[in-house]
Structure formats: C-alpha cells, structure tokens
C-alpha cells in the first residue's frame, strides 16, 4: 500500500530543510563579517579588508607617487594614478574609439551610446546619466544656493555657475576666436560668434 499522506511528509521535510538552510545562511553571514573595526564598529569580511579600512582612521597611505608626491592606501590606486602623468589612456570605447584614464570614466561615457540615464529625480522625474548631475539638479528643487559671490553677494547652485559669474567682475575672457581678435567669457558665446565667420 502507498503512503496515505505523502505530500504532508514531504512538506514537513521541506520546512525543516528551509529552517536549517536559513540558520546556516545566518551563521555564514556572521562568519563572513567577523572582523570589526575598533574605531567605528564597522564589520568587514577579511583581515585584509580590516587593515585597509583602519588606514582611513590612521591616515596611513604607504604608496607614494614619485612624480607628484600624492599618496594612496593601495598599490593599485597608485598604478592607476600614474596614468595621469604618462597620459596613457588604457580604457577604450568600442563604439567610437574615445579613450579614458579610468574604467569608471569609460563606463559613464558608454551611456552616451546606450542612452542609459540611471539616475532619476524623485521630484520631477528627470533622468540623468551621472549621480553627480542628479545631485546638482536636485538643488533646483531645494533652492539651496551655497555658492556666494563675495563681490556682489549673488548666490549660485554650483561652483561652475559661480565661476562663470565671477568673470563679469574679473573681465576674464578665456575663449578666443580663431578667426579674429574677439574673446568671450563663455564657450557658448564663442561658438555662436564663430558662426559669423563660417556662414
């Protein structure tokens, strides 16, 4: 004869197995993060990670650039930094051939081709390609204008906007026309002017 309640027995085994798996998973997670920082209480997964983390508190940066003296916590960061001095851009876009010093810069650049805009404003829904651009955008909604012109007191949402404004006071015009002797304080004004020569 067959078992009268095969499903119930099977179900009980599954529940026991699930409980056991959950217990093992919890134990595994606690073992994974058993290296705790004595300074701030952060838990880390390895002794090596803890040593690296402790350098934040001690300020230790044992890897120093021979060109400029800048120091780093990890040798890999120093190696990547050296590209700044050599000008070597090892990360190439397979879409357009543009090259970049860092893989992270290439990753952001690729969004130009994919049209990916992963950062969305929770106020108006506008999507942006970079997190930094989203932070800047949010200031439009909050009204925070933390950059102040010390000459006239006008406030701005970004350092870039303040810098552009300050050219009014300094008279700086860094954008020079290649066709005549005119100069401009803003790039878009130069581009608009140059159309006179090309039309």
**Residue 131 is assigned to a structural domain of this protein:** no
**Residue 74 is assigned to a structural domain of this protein:** yes
Look up the CATH number of the domain holding residue 67: 3.30.160.60
**Residue 43 is assigned to a structural domain of this protein:** no
**Residue 79 is assigned to a structural domain of this protein:** yes
The residues near 141 (Cβ < 8 Å, ≥ 6 apart) are: 121, 123, 124
Q: Where in the sequence is the domain holding 72, given as residue range(s)?
A: 59-114
**Residue 152 is assigned to a structural domain of this protein:** no
User: Is residue 73 within 8 Å of 61, Cβ to Cβ?
Assistant: yes
**Residue 69 is assigned to a structural domain of this protein:** yes
Whole-model pTM? Answer: 0.43
User: Is residue 100 within 8 Å of 109, Cβ to Cβ?
Assistant: yes
Longest alpha-carbon distance in the chain: 103
**Residue 141 is assigned to a structural domain of this protein:** no
For the chain, 199 residues long, give each residue's pLDDT as a single digit of tens: 444 444 333 334 455 555 655 555 555 444 455 788 888 888 888 888 888 888 888 888 899 989 888 888 899 888 888 888 887 888 899 999 998 888 888 998 999 899 999 999 999 999 999 888 898 888 888 887 878 888 999 988 888 888 889 999 999 998 899 999 999 988 889 889 988 988 7
Question: What's the structural domain count of the chain?
Answer: 1
């Amino acid at each position: 004869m067959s078992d009268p309640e095969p499903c119930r027995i099977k179900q009980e085994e599954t529940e026991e197995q699930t409980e056991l798996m959950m217990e093992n998973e919890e134990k595994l997670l606690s073992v994974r993060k058993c290296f705790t920082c004595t300074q701030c209480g952060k838990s880390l997964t390895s002794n090596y990670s803890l040593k690296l983390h402790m350098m934040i508190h001690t300020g230790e940066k044992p890897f120093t650039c021979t060109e400029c003296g800048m120091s780093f916590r990890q040798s890999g960061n120093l190696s990547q930094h050296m590209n700044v001095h050599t000008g070597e851009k090892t990360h190439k876009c397979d879409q357009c051939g543009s090259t970049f010093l860092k893989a992270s810069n290439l990753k952001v650049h690729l969004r130009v081709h994919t049209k990916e805009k992963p950062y969305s404003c929770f106020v108006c829904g506008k999507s942006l390609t970079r997190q930094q651009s989203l932070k800047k955008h949010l200031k439009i909604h909050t009204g925070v204008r933390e950059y102040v012109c010390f000459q006239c007191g006008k406030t701005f949402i970004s350092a870039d906007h303040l810098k552009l404004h300050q050219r009014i006071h300094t008279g700086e015009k860094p954008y020079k026309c290649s066709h005549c002797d005119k100069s401009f304080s803003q790039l878009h004004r130069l581009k608009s002017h140059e159309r006179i020569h090309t039309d």
